[in-house]
């Protein structure tokens, strides 16, 4: 068994390899002068069970192409089995035709990963669970829920706690964590008047006097969380924090979060963050390295992955 890292999340890949008691596979993922990507695998991988760690985070297209080319190189080097490990699966929000004449890019990306030669996929907190069905190869979708839940218990306790889904689509996710913490849930009725903009219509549930924690899969511009925090405080919440699996944090989101009424935003390291985010006073990062390492070990040993969440 071997672990190979492309360039999107080398720190997480190193952490995973260390937890698995091995080094990263010697490989070089670099650019030609015209920015074409070139990969060389610098050790024998014939007959190996290989896990390629690469989130398709910003810049999504470059990182996706790096992943595809790594898989191609491994296939041509006679690896026995190739698992594409995407701690963050980009393009996931394009999982349906939201209007006429638009693509389903998540399906296209799934096809590309399969065609490149991946035998299986390991990912985490897919934007919608059904995206697993876009792959015709085995796909394991891990949940960061247990990692987030234990941090909530440790840092916020359960008294007066209320978990909040920032939209109707996230209710199952918030409820899963709330049930195990014995907390209530409320729902934000969110509308998207335009692409990239969100508007809070209503809060479903009584949040007065509650410590509110928003649970979401992705924080991108931060608009959803910031709008929800303002509305919750207006309805009498004592404080509002947020836990999100994937810190996409594009276009100055970290600054907007720092200037917002959110007490704290907690994300995982599924996406590698620039120093500015790591230094932000109200953003904290949890590691999903141990979760991914356990899942990789189990896949390699042909053991149950779902048992990790029993
Ligand atoms: C949407 O359905 C997702 O779950 C997130 O709520 C969304 O991607 C967050 O985006 P933003 O931070 O730009 O509001």
pTM over 0.95: yes
Q: With CA atoms as reference, report the closest residue to 166 among 190, 202, 142.
A: 190
Gap between the Cα atoms of 245 and 268, Å rounded: 5
> Measuring from atom 13 of ligand 1, which residue has the nearest CA?
221
Rounded distance from Cα 9 to ligand 1 centre (Å): 22
Q: Cβ of 163: how many Cβ atoms within 10 Å? A: 25
Angle between helices 171-181 and 145-156 (to 10 degrees): 50
Backbone angles phi, psi at 161, to 5 degrees: -75, 140
Determine the pLDDT at residue 1. Answer: 97
Q: CATH for 145-287?
A: 3.40.50.2020
Write out the chain's pLDDT in tens, 310 residues.
999 999 999 999 999 999 999 999 999 999 999 999 999 999 999 999 999 999 999 999 999 999 999 999 999 999 999 999 999 999 999 999 989 999 999 999 999 999 999 999 999 999 999 999 999 999 999 999 999 999 999 999 999 999 999 998 899 999 999 999 999 999 999 888 777 777 877 999 999 999 999 999 999 999 999 999 999 999 999 999 999 999 999 999 999 999 999 999 999 999 999 999 999 999 999 999 999 999 999 999 999 999 999 8
CA 119 to CA 137: how far, in whole Å? 6
CB under 6 Å to ligand 1: residues?
166-167, 169-170, 198, 216-224
Catalytic residue among 14, 18, 97, 190: 190
The boundaries of every CATH 3.40.50.2020 domain in the chain are 2-142+290-309, 145-287
- CA–centroid distance, residue 133 to ligand 1 (Å): 22
Q: What size, in residues, is the chain?
A: 310
Task: Answer yes or no: 190 catalytic.
Answer: yes
Provide CATH code, domain 2-142+290-309. 3.40.50.2020
> In the chain, what are the helix, strand and coil shares in percent, each to the nearest 5?
35, 25, 40
Report the alpha-carbon distance of residue 140 to residue 71 in Å, rounded: 18
Residue 90 tokens read as 């980009």
* Res 198: pLDDT: 79
The reported pLDDT for the residue numbered 201 is 79
Q: Of all protein residues, whose CA lies closest to atom 5 belonging to ligand 1? A: 218
Compute, in angstroms, the gap from residue 284 CA to the centroid of ligand 1: 18
Hey, which of 214, 218, 228 would you mutate to test ligand 1's pocket, going by the most ligand atoms within 8 Å of its Cβ? Answer: 218
Closest atom of ligand 1 to CA, residue 223: 14
């Amino acid at each position: 068994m071997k672990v190979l890292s492309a360039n999107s999340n080398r720190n997480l890949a190193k952490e995973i390899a260390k937890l698995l008691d091995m080094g990263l596979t010697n490989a070089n993922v670099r650019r030609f002068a015209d920015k074409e990507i070139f990969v060389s695998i610098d050790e024998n991988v014939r007959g190996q069970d290989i896990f390629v760690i690469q989130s398709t985070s910003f810049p999504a297209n470059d990182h996706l192409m790096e992943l595809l080319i790594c898989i191609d190189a491994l296939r041509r080097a006679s690896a026995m089995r190739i698992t594409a490990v995407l701690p963050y699966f980009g393009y996931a929000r394009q999982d349906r035709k939201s209007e006429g004449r638009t693509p389903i890019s998540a399906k296209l990306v799934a096809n590309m990963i399969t065609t490149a030669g991946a035998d299986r996929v390991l990912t985490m907190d897919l934007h919608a669970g059904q995206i697993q069905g876009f792959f015709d190869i085995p796909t394991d979708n891990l949940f960061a829920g247990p990692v987030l839940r234990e941090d909530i218990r440790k840092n916020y306790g359960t008294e007066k706690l209320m978990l909040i889904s920032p939209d109707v689509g996230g209710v199952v996710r918030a409820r899963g964590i709330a049930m195990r913490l014995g907390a209530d849930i409320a729902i934000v009725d969110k509308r998207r008047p335009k692409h990239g903009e969100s508007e809070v219509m209503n809060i479903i549930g009584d949040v007065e006097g509650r410590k509110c924690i928003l649970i979401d899969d992705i924080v991108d511009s931060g608009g959803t969380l910031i709008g929800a925090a303002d509305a919750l405080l207006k309805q009498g919440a004592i404080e509002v924090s947020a836990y999100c699996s994937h810190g996409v944090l594009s276009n100055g989101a970290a600054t907007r979060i720092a200037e917002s009424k959110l007490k704290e935003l907690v994300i995982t390291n599924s996406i590698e963050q620039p120093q500015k985010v790591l230094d932000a006073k109200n953003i904290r990062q949890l590691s999903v390295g141990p979760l991914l390492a356990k899942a990789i070990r189990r896949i390699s040993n042909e053991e149950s992955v779902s048992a990790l969440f029993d």
